[in-house]
Copies of this chain bind each other. A is one copy, B any other.
Amino acid sequence: MKIDPDNKADLSAQIAGAIREEIVAGRLIVDERLPSEAELADHFEVSRPTVREALKRLAAQSLIRTARGAFGGAFVNRLNYPDAYGQHITTSTLLLSMNAISFDVACEARYALERACTPLAALRRTPDTLATMRAEIHRQGQPGLSDESFCASDVTFHRALVDSAANPVLSYQLAGAVEAMQPLMNMITFTARSREAILGFHTRIADALEGNEAEAAQAALSELEAYTLTLGRDVMAARARPKG
């Protein structure tokens, strides 16, 4: 584990990179303890604050965890789903919001991915995931629900759809696409009429999954995509128009 002595980049970044490589390559295994900060500083021939900055970089990516006290130190962390979800969602959200991704492109990606889950969801949906979907459909029909709450419920519904596929890898990958869309969806004002329409699509999807009808669910999803697109385009058009 070495660093390039004539590299001009930050030492802490180099050290973090060297350790990260060891972890990704599997040469440092889960729960293994890294040398103490003092030992690392000695090994890399840098000061302790520099080592600490490197370790904080790794901690930010959930690659290590630290414990104080005797027999404490930095340990290779088992990357768990909640941490991975959080990172993925933060990255996806910022990628969308900072790069002027159009509503259309984000929408297309999200629904394409959701349709990918549908055959598995129709096969494996459980009473539990169906109940979640029904509950959210009911919530979405409540009058007086704020637009933001409606969006949050929408996300929960779609996450239940994805989770129905019972494939954690799929759920993880989809989390970014579904959650990152929420800020864009939050710009939409949902009228009573549009809520009713969305509710109809959601009901069709839940019904299709319950009946193990993958193609019907995919068809409903496609129609929901088209409908969402029109809602988004209306918002964009209204924004582009001179205010007044």
Contact = CB atoms under 8 A, between A and B. Distances in A.
Interface of A: 12-13, 16, 20, 23-24, 26, 30, 49, 52-54, 56-61, 63, 78-81, 84, 87-88, 90-99, 101, 105-106, 108-110, 112-113, 115-117, 119-120, 165, 167-170, 172-174, 176-177
A24 B92 CA distance: 11
B93 A24 contact: yes
B61 A91 contact: yes
A239 to B, nearest CB: 16
Contacts of A49: 49, 52
Contacts of A170: 108-109, 112-113
Given A16-B60, A53-B53, A169 B91 contact: no
Contacts of A95: 79, 81, 84, 169, 172
A78 B91 CA distance: 11
A94 B60 contact: no
A119 B120 CA distance: 18
A167 B105 contact: yes
Contact of A79 (B94, B112, B173): B94
A172 B117 CA distance: 18
A61 B60 contact: yes
A63 B120 CA distance: 36
A106 B87 CA distance: 19
Given A84-B92, A95-B169, 19 more contacts: A53-B53, A53-B56, A54-B56, A56-B60, A58-B60, A61-B90, A78-B99, A79-B95, A88-B176, A95-B172, A96-B169, A101-B169, A106-B169, A109-B169, A109-B173, A112-B119, A113-B116, A169-B177, A173-B174
Contacts of A99: 78-81
